[in-house]
Amino acid sequence: MSVRQLRLALQKPIWRATAPLRTCGRGLRALATVAGSAQNHKPSNYGQPLFPSHPHLLKPHELTPGIPADEYECRRRTLMDSLPSDSLVVLVAAPIKYMSGTPEPQSSYKFRQASDFWYLTGFEEPDAAVILEKTSNSRGYRMTLFSSGKDSAKEKWEGARTSFEDVVSIFRADDALPIHVFPARLKSLAGIYSNIYIDSPNASTKRPPRTAKSLLRYLRQPLAPLIAKLRSIKSKREQQVMRAAADISGHAFAKTMRFTQPGTSESAIAAHFEYLCSLSGSQRLAYVPVVASGPNALIIHYTSNNQVIQDGELILVDAGCEYNGYASDITRTYPASGSFTSAQHDLYTAVLTAQKALIGQCTETASFTLHELHRRSCDFLRVELNQLGFRLHAGEVERVLYPHFLSHPIGIDLHESSNFDRGELLKAGMVITIEPGIYVPPLPQFPKNFHNMGIRIEDEVLVGKEHPMILSVAAPKEVADVEGACQGLLGLQPL
C-alpha cells in the first residue's frame, strides 16, 4: 500500500466503542438492543445471520447459532490471560476460494471462515482480520476488528456486509477499521509488543529479517497450539451444538439405511444423506462422504462413490454434516438386503463389541491417552478375530486388517488433531471419535467367508469424568436396530 493510500485509508471513519466493553463472565450486552428492530428482518443488513435479521436461527443473546456473545468474550479473555504481558495476537480470516475466475464476475465456493478466527470472533465474513492487544484493564485486552464495512457496489454482487458500527456494537470490538489499513496497523504495533502470536500456515519461518514483513514473520510465535488447547475442551453450549449436529447426521443415517436397496448407486446414497442433512438445517457436509459398497470398503478413504450396490453386499458409509460451525463424523456399515448374512453378522459383532468396550473407557477416571486406547483397540480386535477363526501373526491386525488410528478429536474441524498430543490423558469435555474397523483382503491366510468385507463403526464420544456420552446415538448401531432401519421397521423421526 502506498503512503497516499494509507493516508486516505486513515482518513476514513473509525468506529470505536464509546462505553467500556463488558468483561468475560459478567452479565450480557446481548443483541437485545438491536433486537428491538427484529420484526422487519428482511433483507439482512449484516454479513452473516444475526438475531435481528434471522430470529428463526438465533436467540437474542447469541452471536452465532447456539453460542452466546459472552462465550466468545470468555474465549478471548482466557486466551489473553494465558499469554505473558506485552502480547499481541493476530488472526486473519479465510481466503475466498474461486471455482471459476474468468471472465469476471468470479464464482466462488461457499465461504467457510478460518476455524481459529471464528472461534475467537464469531465473525463470518471474508476479507477480515483481528488484533488482540493484552492490556491491564478490566477486560484484559483490546480488540480491533478489520473488515470490508459497507460497500453498496460490492454488496450488490456479494450480499450485505456488517457496518463498522455494528462490528463494535455486536461483535464487541473496541475499534472497527477497514481491512486495507490492517498491514499498516500491524506494522506499527509490531514495534511496540515483544510477544507476537500469529495463526498462519508458515508461522515457523525463522530466517533473519530484512523487511518489515519478514520482521513480523521472524518475531511471531505460533498461535494455533494455544487455541487448540482451548478448543479441545468443549463448553456446555458447544456440546449442545455438537449433539445437534450428530443428531442431524444420525437421523439421516437411519433414513439413508432405509433408502438403500440393491441397485441403488453409491452416489445416490451420498446425495440422499446430504439432502437430509441440508433439510435439517446443516450448512454443509463436514467432509467428502465415503459410501463404499462391498470390496470398496477396503479402501479407507474411498470417495469415488460411483459403483452400484449389489444384493448381499455390506455398505460402509462414513459421513457427517457441519451444523452451526461444528462437525459431526459417523460411520455405519449395513447390509444392502436389510439382513446381515451369518459371516457379516459375526464380523460386525466383533467390531461392535470392541467399539463399545472402547467407548466405555472414554472417561477422565479411566486415565487413558489416545495412544493407549488405540493399543487397546488392537488388542480387543485381536481377541475378537481369534474367536472367529483368524490365525493372526504378530502385527497383522495393525498392519493389514486395521491400518488406521482409532480416534481423533473433533469440533469446529473434523480432525482437531494437528496440535493434539495423542499422549495426553483424556479430560472431561473433550469430544473424540471411536472408530475401530476390520478390512479383510482376499488373502489365503484369512478365513474365506470374511474376504472382501470392510466394517467400521464410528461414534462421537463426549468424554465425561465418570461416564462417556455418545453424541451420535441417533445413528442405528446394534444389529437389530440396523436391520430394523434398513427394513423400515424403526420409528424414524420426522425431519
**What residues make contact with ligand GLY under the rule CB under 6 A?**
287, 318, 329, 408, 435, 458
**Best CA proximity match to 90, nearest among 210, 205, 226:** 226
* Contact region with Mn ion (CB under 5 A), list: 72-80, 93-101, 318-326, 381-389: 318-326
Q: List the single partner that 287 binds among Mn ion, ligand GLY, none, CB under 5 to 8 Å by kind.
A: ligand GLY
The two beta strands, 141-147 and 175-178, are parallel
Q: List the single partner that 326 binds among Mn ion, ligand GLY, none, CB under 5 to 8 Å by kind.
A: none
Residue 124 touching Mn ion (CB under 5 A): no
**Best CA proximity match to 189, nearest among 291, 305, 88:** 88
Q: List the single partner that 460 binds among Mn ion, ligand GLY, none, CB under 5 to 8 Å by kind.
A: none
Spatial distance between the Cα atoms of 204 and 248, rounded to a whole number of angstroms = 39
Smallest distance, Å, CB 318 to ligand GLY?
A: 5
Nearer to ligand GLY, 255 or 332 (CB): 332
Chain residue at closest Cβ approach to ligand GLY: 318
Nearer to Mn ion, 238 or 416 (CB): 416
Quick one: how many helices (H) and strands (E) in the chain? 15, 22
Residue 355 touching Mn ion (CB under 5 A): no
Residue 377 touching Mn ion (CB under 5 A): no
What are the C-alpha distances in Å from 397 to residues 250, 378, 481?
Answer: 29, 7, 28
Q: Which of 329, 346, 413, 416 binds Mn ion (CB under 5 A)?
A: 329
Residue 318 touching Mn ion (CB under 5 A): yes
* Contact region with Mn ion (CB under 5 A), list: 146-154, 245-253, 258-266, 456-464: 456-464
- DSSP letter assigned to residue 55: T
Smallest distance, Å, CB 456 to ligand GLY?
A: 8
Nearer to Mn ion, 146 or 348 (CB): 348
Smallest distance, Å, CB 408 to ligand GLY?
A: 6
Residue 433 touching Mn ion (CB under 5 A): yes
Spatial distance between the Cα atoms of 129 and 187, rounded to a whole number of angstroms = 14
Smallest distance, Å, CB 435 to Mn ion?
A: 5
Residues 6+ apart with CB under 8 A from 472: 246, 249, 250, 328, 329, 330, 458, 459, 460
Cell output for 489? 421397521
Give the length of the chain: 495
Residue 446 three-state SS: coil
Sheet harboring 431-434: ordered strands across? Answer: 431-434, 459-462, 469-470
- Residues of this chain that interact with Mn ion (CB under 5 A) are 318, 329, 433, 458
